[in-house]
Amino acid sequence: MTKLALITGASRGLGSALAEQLAPDYHIIAVARTTGGLEDLDDRIQAAGGSATLAPMDITDPNAMATLCRGIHDRWGKLDLWLHSAIHAAALSPVPSIAAKDWNKSFAINATSTSVLIPYVAPLLGTEGKAVFFDDPRAGEKFFGTYGATKAAQMALARSWQAETARIGPKVRIVEPRPMSTALRGRFYPGEDRDQLASIKDEAARLLPEILAD
């Protein structure tokens, strides 16, 4: 039976790179708002002999996520792997200057959508599947109030779920990527020497054994 990997945040960055590297062994269900990015990913996967189902959806829309997960259930009945790499990086700002729209968007994407997706995806993973989250600890760093707080909320959910399922499954894994040359990091450090950062493709290759380990 074909193994299935759901990747939320698959159109760019680490999610896209991991989708490509998983594609030889998994059918990829790729979720993102950026249709063009998903189509480019699909072209690369097909060129390498893999297959993907594209789902251009907004993960902050609970009805869309319910439809997605119901569709996965009706077509395949299960998932083997879920990688949650979707993230929003609000502009850096002193805490007193945080804009409400940046806070609300960050919380919706980074935290609330995670709380919605976990109960939708958990039944598809069953006891044998695996969910993977990507840590980027910034809580308490200056100017990272919005990103740090909302990412920490996401990780709190992931770690609680990890503790709750340690004996019964599904497996919940949290990995921490090295600093990479991504658009997200470019927003935080616009003048940084990107040649000193890990390439996204190399970092995906480094993380993959940890992600797939039993």
How many whole angstroms separate alpha carbon 187 and alpha carbon 113? 22
pTM score over 0.75: yes
pLDDT recorded at residue 78: 97
pLDDT recorded at residue 189: 84
How many whole angstroms separate alpha carbon 84 and alpha carbon 154? 10
| More confident position, 188 or 118 | 118
> CATH for 3-212?
3.40.50.720
| More confident position, 114 or 197 | 114
Q: Residue for token digits 């040649």?
A: 195
pLDDT in tens, 9-23: 999 999 999 999 999
Burial class (CB in 10 A: 0-12, 13-18, 19+), 58: middle
How many whole angstroms separate alpha carbon 101 and alpha carbon 213? 39
Residue type, 168: I
Contact, 158 vs 165, CB < 8 A?
Answer: no
In the chain, where the domains are located: 3-212
